[in-house]
Chains A and B, each alone.
Chain A
């Protein structure tokens, strides 16, 4: 993976897979499992489907390595959850291993409140918070943060129902960091001169994104799945960046930045009572009630399956992604979708990776992903494959999607997935920020206070029938929406074998 631009820029980092190392839960997807027997079956079927003569390199399971049968059951440490008189919810989790502290604030409703003609307004507001307050200039704020070795930033993700403000640093500086954070949250001024500069940087960043195949694919898929704004939007536009004004930002801030809309989480080396006092001092005088939940479009897309080809000339790979709408985070189907997704594409041990990469070497990696939100989210499966095997890769995707919906998951494979999810709780214990995030998820979605204590049992309770039912319902080939980003000249004829193809350019405009 190459780090770029705002990150450290240069080094090409090579690894076995471009991966997450540690399992996640909550909003992050847990890893999954696939068993070699399954992979072997698909390998033989694949050859039957037209890859005759390819020498398939088979995944093999010898079962000789020593594995402890015991699954280490751990309980996530519980935070202290309190509400200030002004309605601000606090989630405080002490962790004394190292002398650091991290704050994160979620402010509803984030990008979902963007006006249709100003996509990105929430993200512009977030990015501009640090650029000046009633008492400090952008440069003063930057200097103070950097002098503390701290970080302070805000963002509003597309599709997300909240804007995040994050600050962290060394534990003895907790009060100073919190002062800075509250200053930018409560008293931003969005100066015109800073906004003008931000717009230039953002226009340039948008250009950079438009050269990235993954970004192009997700932008087109989001539009195909969600159809209407705000849910269909995945990026600001050149137009929205050009026309946003300081007054727009102020209005967004005044309307939505209230303690009733916010949850603040803190983890690190502090005492809970002290931290509550610090937060009260910084945010106690903030006022404003919670907004009523937004009315969001309900419908799942039930259009027939189609393929959008985003033409990216000179591409040497095709980025293929397919997806469908799924469920809300609070839906009872959540657990079966988690398990189904893990079987299918949750990591290097799952079916898509073992099939498309380990057996067929079409790609550096193939995965699936699911999101559930305050509105029905989505499920997606994806891989970047070399252009000449676009056809073979489509065949394997279709094969895997059909298979998971039409065949029961073998018991041993299901058992592995259960084990994988439950055992991974131990690893999260050394990432207090992740544990805090899990508990903030509970607050955000209004889940039960013992949600994570019961989670392992809920996962264990998902049987093969439930996995298959979830696949049938959500991985439905007649309604899956496909996007392929690549060189039109080479891939259009191939894609036509799999459905009706619409061609657009990088900016989303139809190509004749």
Chain B
């Protein structure tokens, strides 16, 4: 057995004013699968007086740093009539603030050798940049200026509304299967928070007013509703001083209203068929309800997904693609949300195979897990794959910062970056069997079938209960 011990960094002894260094102790090794050690990170976790949570993570392996600001707002916060606002707002954050012009953010980041983006999902909105280490002030200044003083104008709103509508066309309306991706959530959830799409409806986007956008900013883009994460080549004490310089004066706001994410148990399978003129082959999406992310059951569901479709030795690939030749591909993808989550299965039948036959093939695979469980070899394999993925994610400071920001906002646990691999490793055979039995319930699932429609036709759909 071989161990790689990450060299303990300089900051083991640092006591920083106002910084709570998470006690990671002498044990700097996280998960350990077959002797593989993942170096642990030292998180310096503190709050400014205005409530902004600041997490500083030194990593001197390259002369760069990453900054992530994650706001505790996503499409789950949108009420009916306001769908797509969280994501539209993400675009508005690049339209200028008191000291940064419209579009200047891109220009400053890329001209100085950096990279950046912003993303929105159901649960959170994040903004991130990566820059050479000598540009630490630049990243902090850009994030602070827009948190403090976003300036939105009607022309900029109109412009970005149109860009977002183009994004919707490009990723949904002009793509085969685009609507199936939205409809599966719509069918699966009754609670509006997760029922509606993050991209939103064209009608709601068109109705968004300047006042709406301003209210959204005031409600959600406050320091006490966000987390700032820095990972990279800096001195934490100096970095904290800079963070204070730029962010201290931003006032906190009333906490935003809490969103009820609870979902009543469903009875009766929900089913829809979409006739899609852009599709050339049928597609099946199924969704089963599973518990929220970072729960023992959700980790078991992630392992189960690895067993079902992780790699070419997986059950779906070996049984459905190779042996029975029912499918050209079948993927299991459980998600991990703050609230009730979904276990998706997406499949394309082999040409000439009926959707019904492939559906039955998938059902048989799930039934086999429920009947006999999975093997120790399969679970070990899934865990090793999971660990490998996690290590790869940890390579870049930017990915690391994004994960920490997400863990802080989702679960109030930024240190999950150091413990998630242990949690994944702790899943047992019984856990996997139990989640399959409890959650692969045909009567509670949703199914969206896409069928190719004649090329010149208009997309249509047929909805119904169990067949």
**A residues lining the B interface (CB < 8 Å):** 1-2, 4-17, 19-23, 31-36, 39, 55-62, 64-68, 70-72, 74, 96-100, 130, 138-139, 142-143, 145-150, 169-172, 197, 200-201, 203-205, 207-208, 210-213, 269, 312-317, 347-349, 353-354, 357-359, 361-364, 384-386, 416-417, 419-427, 429-431
Contact = CB atoms under 8 A, between A and B. Distances in A.
A489 to B, nearest CB: 9
Nearest to B94: A16
B104 to A, nearest CB: 5
23 contacts: A10-B184, A10-B285, A11-B121, A11-B335, A16-B117, A32-B110, A39-B103, A57-B160, A65-B104, A72-B113, A98-B394, A99-B391, A149-B381, A149-B384, A172-B34, A207-B351, A208-B280, A363-B163, A384-B170, A385-B166, A416-B111, A419-B111, A423-B112
Nearest to B394: A98
A201 B163 CA distance: 36
A142 to B, nearest CB: 4
A200 B328 contact: yes
B312 A201 contact: no
Contacts of B114: 423-424, 427
Contact of B348 (A39, A60, A204, A430): A204
B238 interface: no
A309 to B, nearest CB: 15
| Most chain A CB inside 10 Å of its own CB: which residue of B90, B170, B279, B321 | B170
Contacts of A172: 2, 34-36
A364 B170 CA distance: 8
Given A143-B313, A425-B113, A66 B101 contact: no
B162 A315 contact: no
Contacts of A72: 63, 113, 132-134
A67 B313 contact: no
Given A61-B107, A417-B111, 7 more contacts: A16-B91, A99-B391, A146-B313, A147-B377, A169-B388, A420-B110, A420-B113
A431 B110 contact: no
B263 interface: no
Contact of B391 (A59, A100, A347): A100
Contact of A361 (B162, B311, B328): B162
Interface stretch (B137-145, B214-222, B432-440): B137-145
Interface of B: 2, 4, 34-39, 61-64, 87, 90-91, 94-96, 99-104, 106-121, 130-135, 137-138, 141-142, 145, 153, 155-156, 158-163, 165-167, 169-178, 181-182, 184, 197-199, 277-281, 285, 310-314, 317-318, 321-322, 325, 328-329, 331, 333, 335, 344, 346, 348, 350-351, 377, 380-381, 384-388, 391-392, 394-398, 455-459
B145 A65 contact: yes
Nearest to A385: B166
A357 B163 CA distance: 7
A9 B331 contact: yes
A74 B134 CA distance: 12
A358 B174 CA distance: 21
| Most chain B CB inside 10 Å of its own CB: which residue of A97, A130, A145, A146 | A146
| Most chain A CB inside 10 Å of its own CB: which residue of B101, B155, B161 | B101
Contacts of A430: 61-62, 64, 395-397
A174 B441 CA distance: 42
A176 B163 CA distance: 49
A171 B348 contact: no
Contacts of A362: 162, 166
B125 to A, nearest CB: 10
Nearest to B180: A10
Nearest to B35: A172
Contacts of B38: 98-99
A2 B178 contact: yes
A176 B66 CA distance: 35
A21 B117 contact: yes
Given A348-B110, A362-B166, A430-B395, A16 B119 contact: yes
A55 to B, nearest CB: 5
Contacts of A1: 171
A317 B170 contact: yes
Given A14-B199, A210-B280, A419 B112 contact: yes
A23 B163 contact: no
B121 A14 contact: yes
A147 B64 contact: no
A212 B162 CA distance: 22
Given A142-B311, A361-B163, A423 B101 contact: no
A9 B333 contact: yes
Given A65-B145, A97-B61, A99-B4, A60 B115 contact: no
| Most chain A CB inside 10 Å of its own CB: which residue of B106, B131, B351, B391 | B106
A419 B103 contact: no
B107 A6 contact: no
Nearest to B350: A200
A204 to B, nearest CB: 4
A139 B159 contact: no
Contact of A317 (B174, B181, B455): B174
Nearest to A15: B119
Nearest to B113: A423
B325 A149 contact: no
Given A65-B145, A208-B280, A430-B62, A317 B110 contact: no
B391 to A, nearest CB: 5
A57 B277 contact: no
A59 B134 contact: no
